[in-house]
Copies of this chain bind each other. A is one copy, B any other.
Amino acid sequence: MEVLGEIDRSSPIPYYYQLQEILQTWIEENHISPHTQIFSEGELCERFGVSRTVVRQALLGLERDGLIYRVKGRGSFVAPPKLRQQITELTSFTQDMQKRGVRPGARVLYQEMHPVSETVAQRLQIPPQTPVFCLERVRLVNDQPLALQTAHLSFDGCESLLEEDFENQSLYAILAARYGITPFQAEQEYEASIARPRETKLLNLQPGDPVMHICRVTYDTDRHPFEVTQCVYRGDKYRFVALLRKA
């Protein structure tokens, strides 16, 4: 229970991050019970031969991830597992579904450049009518339709996305590999609604069935928006989980 490994002083990975991972695997592999007190900052300094700054940075990371919580004057404690999972994290449809343990897929309906609408242009912070890359797909899980997804992308050289295959590849994976674009954060709006005729057909729904509308604006690491996505999910098969924290 006490053997935890060591910090590799020759590694390019920062000490605090190595320590964070050591503690995370220690908590998870030993199934330490919720509300159990873990090592104090002082103990960790001594045990790993690092300064308190490093230890505190590691513990802050674990706290941010919901793995531990800290109480002034008492100590640090293992958080209940419910609070660990499902942190509101920026993911692609593909990653989201893989995390839920199902097999994602896609059927492309439309893949063209076209002039951007007023509302989307505003969200992308570009002039109206600018040509943007537009991709409409039916998203599948285990070969059943789950959502209708329309993405609008705007960045230098986005025309070359016309050549890509989006039935078998993740959009975000292509953006990262070929264009060096990494999504950093996103705003997402959720609204309950009723399926429109076209959606009932594409998603195998009945008229009047509920759907969840989701509109996302995605920003890169320089905080410039590069993507606006509009999604319609089947209401009976999709549930969104958020973790809210006190300010």
Q: Footprint of B on A, CB under 8 Å?
A: 34-35, 69, 71, 77, 79-80, 82-83, 86-91, 182-194, 208-212, 217, 219, 221-223, 233, 235, 238-247
Contact = CB atoms under 8 A, between A and B. Distances in A.
30 contacts: A34-B223, A35-B222, A69-B222, A77-B223, A80-B223, A82-B187, A82-B217, A83-B185, A88-B88, A88-B245, A89-B246, A90-B244, A91-B244, A185-B244, A185-B246, A186-B243, A187-B244, A188-B243, A190-B190, A190-B212, A191-B235, A191-B238, A192-B193, A192-B235, A192-B238, A194-B194, A194-B210, A208-B208, A240-B242, A242-B242
A228 to B, nearest CB: 12
Nearest to A216: B244
Given A71-B222, A210-B210, A223-B83, A243 B192 contact: no
A86 B193 contact: no
A141 to B, nearest CB: 17
Copies in the complex: 2
A83 B187 contact: yes
Contact of A186 (B182, B192, B193, B244): B244
